[in-house]
């Protein structure tokens, strides 16, 4: 795995289906796999990432980071771009973002439902809403005006199964469940989930008893990327579960079985991780399998990590809501908090 990642970085290649997403997933999984978020990316690579991201800011057509230079600003590529800069973690990287312009872009995406639209004329759902709320909170621009109506909208997306869909009335889905619960976690509203027992029941039944990994929806196959999308939920829900049911209630994931699926079924022998055996490795699944592996090992961070196999399998702790290293989250929050309360212009 490490050899494959080092080869990618040494080539200086950040091309792919989306330049912004490629920068984020590759820099993130490189730092996750080497266990220290300050280890591997060389200085010239940091500079290249900052320059690439800066070139993709769209001043001419509504603001926001686009998928590439001159492309339309989009909330998902803003999410990936800002997380890539937070991973770099230097003041120069964090100051790449014009917070006033970013705030204006986010406010222009505000929808009457309480959600946000992905881009001009785009869809609105909990995925987009999570992208906005997570970055706004991380970069210190989460105002009352921006968060208005968000909690009620997210809560309305819980389904009869207990999980969350992308919009009210949609089928419960692991990716949307993560976006919903992570948004509530950031807004300190997890305790407002209307049917917590149903959510826990739905979540427990998405971890397959034979494979050990997670499926995204009822009656679907296991997929390695849900190791994070579903696997982060027990960590996000841990505090409210303790408060509601007591400290004796076990962690709501079989962590060792999940690690077995990722390490024994998800790895490709040449390096990289994948959806399932028979599928090719790719950056997306490498990113989310490693994220899921970290959360499976560390849980909510209160207990000693649970590590399947050799001790060298232990990864750095990933923040279950932001999906970057917990140390980078702490550092970024502190950097912008030191500037004082954000005032929109």
List active site positions: 173, 217, 220, 223, 225-226, 275, 282, 285
3-state secondary structure of 115: coil
d(CA 150, CA 143) in angstroms, rounded, equals 12
Pair 235, 296: CB distance under 8 Å: no
57, β-bridge pairs: 65
What is the phi/psi pair of residue 325, to 5°?
-55, 140
d(CA 203, CA 211) in angstroms, rounded, equals 15
What is the phi/psi pair of residue 266, to 5°?
-90, -20
CA 15 → CA 19, 45, 52, 68, 291, distances in Å? 6, 14, 11, 10, 22
The residues near 284 (Cβ < 8 Å, ≥ 6 apart) are 25, 225
């Amino acid at each position: 795995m490490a050899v494959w990642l080092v080869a990618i970085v040494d080539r200086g290649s950040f091309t792919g289906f989306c330049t912004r997403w490629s920068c984020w997933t590759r820099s993130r999984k490189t730092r996750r796999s080497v266990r220290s978020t300050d280890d591997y990316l060389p200085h010239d690579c940091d500079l290249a990432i900052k320059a690439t991201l800066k070139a993709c800011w769209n001043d001419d057509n509504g603001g926001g980071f686009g998928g590439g230079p001159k492309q339309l600003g989009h909330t998902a590529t803003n999410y990936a771009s800002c997380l890539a800069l937070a991973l770099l973690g230097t003041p120069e990287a964090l100051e790449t973002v014009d917070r006033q312009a970013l705030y204006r872009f986010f406010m222009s995406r505000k929808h009457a439902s309480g959600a946000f639209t992905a881009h001009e004329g785009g869809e609105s759902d909990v995925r987009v809403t999570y992208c906005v709320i997570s970055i706004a909170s991380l970069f210190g621009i989460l105002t009352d005006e921006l968060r208005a109506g968000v909690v009620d909208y997210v809560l309305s997306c819980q389904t009869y199964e207990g999980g969350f869909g992308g919009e009210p009335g949609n089928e419960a889905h692991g990716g949307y469940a993560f976006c919903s619960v992570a948004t509530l976690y950031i807004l300190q509203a997890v305790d407002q989930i209307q049917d917590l027992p149903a959510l826990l029941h739905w979540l427990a039944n998405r971890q397959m008893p034979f494979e050990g990994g997670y499926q995204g929806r009822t009656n679907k196959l296991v997929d390695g990327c849900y190791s994070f999308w579903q696997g982060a939920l027990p960590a996000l829900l841990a505090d409210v579960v303790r408060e509601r049911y007591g400290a004796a209630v076990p962690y709501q994931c079989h962590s060792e079985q999940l690690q077995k699926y990722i390490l024994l079924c998800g790895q490709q022998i040449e390096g990289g991780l994948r959806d399932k055996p028979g599928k090719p490795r790719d950056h997306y699944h490498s990113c989310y399998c490693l994220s899921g592996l970290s959360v499976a090992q560390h849980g909510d961070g209160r207990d000693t990590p649970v590590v399947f196999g050799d001790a060298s399998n232990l990864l750095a702790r990933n923040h279950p809501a932001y999906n970057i290293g917990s140390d980078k989250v702490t550092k970024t929050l502190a950097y912008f908090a030191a500037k004082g309360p954000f005032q929109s212009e």
